């Protein structure tokens, strides 16, 4: 037992010494430690020397391979080190082949167009938003000139792709008129296509962009606008809800008309939760019979609560009167 324990301690010390050396070599080469994914790719199969799992020496080979890749050592030096460690020419050949395949896979993955686009990020399209640079289409919206790029529009919007690639006038014309949408709304729509973000300034602006998104079948933008409308209304205090000129019932009508189902359901619950505020407004009568029944069923305060509150207040008043008579 003591001999086995001594051997284990010796192996631990050797592995720790190897790790320290490898760490210093990597720092000298300007490289970081390999990721867990890289280790799993390299050592997922049984070890070439016949063992079922890799020990610290196997990781040492990986570090040397990384140093080789950074230009620190020659390929022949790595092969000599492997032959000295493994004492098996077949195992060395197999391991060297795996290192070659991993190197080629890593280089090819970094050279793909998608990888280069990921490195550039979405900020590259921000510079092209509402810019005449390289633009090949101009939208005329209420007298405003909005330059754009067909490639971006086709990639981000299926309706735009059909419009510019089909047998339509827009496919052959550089100037495209847009009707039924304000210039600010369409500019916010284009901003989403270029930046993948949307920040409407008000409830009405968010609702207008939602209508535009539904017109061009951009579902994600539609859902973002629904969230914006909910957030704006939820942040309003009760006094502002009572005095605001925004008609929540009409927002409900537009949400239903433009297939914003989640917003429609949320607005119904919002009206029910603020029943005392909205029930006194004239547009409350515009609700359909089915919607009014649902609001009455979900309303707060409920009828039972108001009835109990009224009875409690009446008993309090009677109690005060009786005390005054006694005194």
pLDDT for residue 47: 45
DSSP string for 130-153: T--TT--EEEEETTEEEEE-HHHH
pLDDT for residue 301: 82
Asked if residue 160 lies in contact with residue 137, where contact means CB atoms within 8 angstroms, the answer is no
148 φ, ψ to 5°? -155, 180
pLDDT for residue 315: 85
Asked if residue 56 lies in contact with residue 15, where contact means CB atoms within 8 angstroms, the answer is yes
Which residues neighbour 298 within 8 Å (Cβ) at sequence distance 6 or greater? Answer: 268, 269, 272, 273
Other C-beta atoms lying within 10 Å of the C-beta of residue 186:
21
**Minimal CA–CA distance to 226: which of 259, 179, 269, 193?**
259
Strand partners of residue 146: 139
d(CA 44, CA 25): 25
pLDDT for residue 170: 86
Per-residue pLDDT in tens (0 to 9) along the chain, 327 residues: 444 555 566 665 656 655 654 554 444 444 455 555 444 544 444 444 444 444 444 444 444 444 444 443 455 666 666 666 666 777 767 777 766 666 665 555 555 555 554 554 445 788 889 999 889 999 999 999 999 999 999 999 999 999 998 788 888 899 999 999 999 999 999 999 999 998 899 999 999 999 999 999 999 999 999 999 999 999 999 889 988 889 999 999 999 999 999 999 999 999 999 999 998 899 999 999 999 999 999 988 887 887 887 788 888 888 887 776 665
Cα distances (Å, whole numbers) of residue 29 to 37, 79, 106, 130, 217: 21, 19, 18, 45, 52
Asked if residue 264 lies in contact with residue 252, where contact means CB atoms within 8 angstroms, the answer is yes
């Amino acid at each position: 037992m003591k001999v086995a324990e001594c051997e284990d301690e010796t192996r631990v010390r050797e592995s720790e010494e190897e790790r320290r050396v490898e760490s210093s070599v990597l720092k000298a080469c300007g490289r970081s430690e390999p990721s867990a994914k890289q280790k799993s790719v390299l050592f997922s199969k049984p070890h070439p020397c016949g063992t079922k799992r890799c020990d610290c020496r196997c990781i040492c080979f990986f570090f040397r391979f990384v140093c080789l890749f950074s230009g620190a050592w020659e390929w022949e030096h790595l092969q000599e080190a492997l032959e000295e460690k493994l004492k098996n020419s077949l195992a060395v050949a197999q391991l060297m082949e795996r290192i070659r395949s991993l190197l080629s896979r890593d280089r090819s993955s970094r050279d793909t167009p998608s990888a280069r686009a990921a490195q550039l990020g979405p900020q590259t399209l921000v510079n092209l938003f509402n810019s005449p640079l390289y633009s090949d289409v101009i939208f005329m919206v209420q007298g405003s000139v909005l330059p754009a790029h067909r490639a971006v529009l086709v990639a981000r919007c299926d309706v735009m792709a059909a419009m510019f690639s089909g047998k339509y006038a827009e496919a052959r014309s550089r100037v495209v008129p847009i009707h039924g949408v304000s210039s600010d709304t369409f500019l916010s729509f284009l901003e989403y296509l270029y930046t993948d973000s949307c920040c409407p300034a008000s409830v009405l602006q968010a609702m207008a962009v939602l209508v535009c998104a539904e017109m061009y079948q951009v579902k994600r933008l539609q859902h973002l606008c629904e969230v914006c409308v909910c957030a704006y209304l939820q942040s309003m205090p009760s006094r502002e809800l009572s005095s605001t000129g925004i008609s929540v019932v009409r927002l409900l009508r537009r949400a239903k008309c433009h297939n914003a189902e989640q917003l429609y359901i949320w607005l119904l619950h919002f009206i029910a939760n603020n029943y005392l505020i909205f029930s006194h407004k004239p547009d409350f009568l515009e609700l359909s019979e089915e919607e009014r029944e649902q609001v009455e069923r979900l309303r707060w305060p409920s009828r039972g609560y108001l009835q109990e509150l009224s009875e409690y207040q009446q008993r309090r008043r009677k109690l005060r009167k009786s005390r005054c008579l006694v005194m």
